Structure 1
Amino acid sequence: MPLHIPTPLFESRALSAAAGRSVWLKLEAMQPPGSFKIRGIGLACEQYQRRGATRFISSSGGNAGIAVAYAGRMLGVPVVVVVPETTTERAKALIRAEGAELIVHGAAWHEANALAQSMVTPTDAFLHPFDDALLWQGHASMIDEVAQAGFKPDAVLLSVGGGGLLSGAVEGLQRNGWGDVPVLAVETAGADSFAQSLRAGARIELAGIASIATSLGARQVCERAFALSAQHPILSEVVTDQAAVAACRRFIGDHRIVVEPACGAALAPVYAKAAQLEPFDKVLVIVCGGVTATVEQLEQWSKQLA
């Protein structure tokens, strides 16, 4: 049995009314560790264990680390997760609750990542949060489930951080013969390395992350995600932190589900009836989840950003 579960797929009447078109949700927030990350990370952990790994090491700002810790507990493999100082107390508590060893290091994810990689021994497996072909293969399974349900969307809407979800979704579209289905890739301003790279025609690296959506806080999108922009129809959209948080709060009212701003970014264009959605009658939104935000935090951010 895989470590992820098949997640609900349904048409949202509330979001359809807001967007003026049929909006379908793939509820990855319902995964046991709280986000889509377990699809790819679970697959990778299983593969690495079969190859002889006796410990998993990961770097993360939150959700990936939680997924690795969960996978390690389920597989009986010790886990070390290195997180930056910006990681929320809630995320750190959730990683520890899964039984993983937690190390806090560095002011940003790239510093935590460097330490994590330096710790890897020949008997360890390193779990990158977004840049690994096994992750993309696992993430693609969410599109397989959509195809198996007999629903083909006109477009897929998702959030982009390091590009792991984007790479996996496109792999899923292509392996199901849906190479004609465009992806609307959404980021928050201040964490928009993909959008800036598309404008520059080359991968750029942000000087820093200036967004509260820390799960989207990769200073540079992975090479695979950028390369896909030349191989698959991908549209880029950038929303404000305020719009992402407002979408999270509205989603609670519509579907009684709490997601973090990194996920709210993908919901924001739907609630705003974004112009880029105009050509599409049926839109699939990947509700990627995230368990590092609470209702109280969302309310505080809303007041702070108002």
Structure 2
Amino acid sequence: MALHHETPLLESRPLSLKAGCVVQLKMEALQPSGSFKIRGIGAACERHARNGKRRFVSSSGGNAGLAVAYAGRRLAIPATVFVPETTTERARALIRQEGAELVVHGASWQEANERALEAVDAETAFIHPFDDPILWEGHATMIDEVVTAGAAFDAVVLSVGGGGLMAGVAEGLARNGMQDVPIVAVETGGAASLAASIKAGRRVELPGITSIATSLGARRVCERAFELARSYPVESVVVSDRDAVGACIGFLDDHRVLVEPACGAALSVAYAYPERLSKYERVLIIVCGGATATVRQLLEWRES
């Protein structure tokens, strides 16, 4: 029993006109937990449940924790989610709404993750928010769905935080014989650990997260994401918080769907930098979603 849904694939007329190519949207914002995270996390939780684990523990900036909380409720297994102080009140409320225990600790995800690991025992499954091959295998199913639908594309645009989505998309492309299709990997300034690692030629850790896109707030990408950036056709793009927020508002106007700035980062390439997409004929944008922002917050961020 998969905990994720098969999501719609839509052609965006507004973004196609902006970018000068066909823009297709994989609508992961419509997953039951609000983001793509439930694909991999749901698969991991189901596997651990079959193996007899009686509790889930996870660390998260928001959306991964929400996916763990949702999976725990659906599987009738208690979940505890550790989040940093930067996690929004909206995200905290949604995690509690799913029935999970919430623990707030530390200034960034790294500190919350360290505390989460201390809470793991023999009966507990630790659910990593992005660095786990089980998650990547689950996330890859979104590419399987697009290919099964018969949709053609010659580039994939996605947001990068810890790199789990990028690793999953790359796996999905490879297992469908599309490993030569480039990935446009988008981060916000202040959370751009992949771009910093590419520039340095080694995986580096940011001193802190200053972006409002806190769901992208891993100070260091996973090793797999960095390996892909070095061996795979990956184009790294860094956008501003203002670009990401503007894309969220534009997307709400154009498609009546609310996403958070972590998702707006990928969308902003079409809204603010369409020339980066015009060299392609058909582009797939992963609308990764995110349930932790409100319309009021987006408007406040735009003004500030």
- TM-score tier (shorter): over 0.9
1:57 & 1:87 partners in 2: Cα distance? 17
CA deviation vs aligned residue, 1:43-72 (integer Å, no higher than 9, x gap): 000111111110000011100000000000
Give the match for residue 225 of structure 1. 225
Give the match for residue 4 of structure 1. 4
| Residue 165 (str. 1) matches residue 169 (str. 2) | no
| Residue 215 (str. 1) matches residue 215 (str. 2) | yes
Query: Mapping of 1:132-151 within 5 angstroms?
Result: 132-151=132-151
1:208 & 1:283 partners in 2: Cα distance? 32
Say which is worse superposed, 293-302 or 44-53, in terms of deviation.
44-53
Give the match for residue 93 of structure 1. 93
Give the match for residue 255 of structure 1. 255
Where 1:205 maps in the other structure, the secondary structure is coil
Length, aligned pairs only:
304
Give the match for residue 75 of structure 2. 75
1:35 & 1:301 partners in 2: Cα distance? 21
Q: Contact between 1:19 and 1:272, CA under 8 Å: does it hold in 2? A: no
Give the match for residue 18 of structure 1. 18
Give the match for residue 41 of structure 1. 41
| Residue 114 (str. 1) matches residue 114 (str. 2) | yes
2:274 & 2:296 partners in 1: Cα distance? 28
CA deviation vs aligned residue, 1:251-282 (integer Å, no higher than 9, x gap): 00000000000000000011124433232110
Q: Contact between 1:20 and 1:273, CA under 8 Å: does it hold in 2? A: no
Unaligned runs of 5+ in 2: none
**Amino acid corresponding to residue 158 of structure 1 in structure 2:** L
Where 2:231 maps in the other structure, the secondary structure is coil
Compute the displacement of 1:18 (Å).
1.3
CA deviation vs aligned residue, 1:210-231 (integer Å, no higher than 9, x gap): 1000000100000011011233
CA deviation vs aligned residue, 1:179-205 (integer Å, no higher than 9, x gap): 111000000011000011111110010
CA deviation vs aligned residue, 1:14-53 (integer Å, no higher than 9, x gap): 1101111100000000000000000000000011111111
1:15 & 1:221 partners in 2: Cα distance? 29
CA deviation vs aligned residue, 1:151-202 (integer Å, no higher than 9, x gap): 1211000000000000000000000000111000000011000011111110
Instruction: State TM-score, norm by structure 2.
Output: 0.99
Give the match for residue 63 of structure 2. 63
2:140 & 2:272 partners in 1: Cα distance? 27
CA deviation vs aligned residue, 1:271-296 (integer Å, no higher than 9, x gap): 12443323211000000000100000
Unaligned runs of 5+ in 1: none
Q: Contact between 1:18 and 1:273, CA under 8 Å: does it hold in 2? A: no
2:114 & 2:269 partners in 1: Cα distance? 35
Give the match for residue 243 of structure 1. 243
CA deviation vs aligned residue, 1:90-120 (integer Å, no higher than 9, x gap): 1111001101011111121111100100110
